[in-house]
Amino acid sequence: MIIWLASYPKSGNTLLRSILSSYFYSEDGVFKFENLNKITQFPNTHHFMSLGVDIDNDEQVFQNFINAQNLINNEQGKVKFFKTHSSLSRMYNSNFTDLKNTLGAIYVVRDPRNVVSSLAHHFNLSINEATETMLDEDKFTEKTLKTSKVFLGSWNFNYKSWKNLNKQKRYLLIKYEDLITRKKTVMLRVFKFLEIIGMKFKLDMVKLNKCLKSTDFDKMKNKEKEETFFEAVLDKNGNRKNFFNLGPKNDWRNLLDENNRQKIEKKFQKEMLELGYL
């Protein structure tokens, strides 16, 4: 069964993956980039190879999301974490996932006024372009050599779509801001949720404390300076950009112009009020 770590891009998914991978895939709880790689992204192009799917045919890929998940879940009793930026939606008459394959989902949300500057940095966009991307209700992610396209939708559509799993008690919402300022409290909620949905493990507080300490943003940023982090993208000149850029220092009050701030707040007012961002 799959536990989805879902989010709109640049919303804190990597921090959650870092903590969980350090806890479940290391002996000592100390963060390592190689352990982060054990929580990969879905859909990845290799998920469709054994199904004989033409990975350049978007319709075929979308229609085989669940077939690929069935194959992943052939190993009975095994719980697998997957990162995704897909909305929980239906495209080409096919759902992104189903309850047979989904044990639960943890959705990470972040103030969209801070998402926009991170999005701009990561994808080599202007702030205007990043804002328009977040507002785009018909937005797909770009296909890469490793990852297939998914339907992203707008920031608020992506957020709202995953809430549908709350009806089945398979959904946990966490805010990036809380994950930064109240990391242990949030992670205890995460581990409690994992127990509730049926994941079998024994909570080791000593190991968890090591995970939390080793995934401090500044430590991860310094680690990236010393080691290559292959999830970091290349800039227009072919140089690898810092993945861990501003983190908690990303403050829209200092970075976002008035025009784009108003666009974001107007479009996402309902959801931002609901989340306490307004």
Phi, psi angle pair for 120, to nearest 5°: -60, -45
The predicted structure's pLDDT at residue 138: 96
pLDDT along the chain (278 residues), means of 10: 96 93 94 88 90 92 95 82 96 95 97 95 92 97 90 97 94 96 96 95 94 85 63 54 60 90 98 97
The predicted structure's pLDDT at residue 54: 92
* Token couple for 159: 């957020």
Phi, psi angle pair for 228, to nearest 5°: -80, 130
The predicted structure's pLDDT at residue 36: 87
CATH class name, domain 2-112+142-229: alpha beta
Q: What is the number of other CB atoms lying within 10 angstroms of the CB of residue 261?
A: 18
The predicted structure's pLDDT at residue 272: 98
Considering only CA atoms, which of 242, 127, 109, 246 is closest in space to residue 177?
Answer: 109
Give this prediction's pTM: 0.90
The predicted structure's pLDDT at residue 241: 47
The predicted structure's pLDDT at residue 158: 98
The predicted structure's pLDDT at residue 222: 73
Query: How remote is the C-alpha of 73 from its chain's centroid?
Result: 20
Label residue 20 exposed, middle or buried (CB < 10 Å: 0-12, 13-18, 19+). Answer: buried
Residues 191/151/60/4 CA torsion (nearest 10 deg): 0
Domain definitions of the chain by residue range: 2-112+142-229
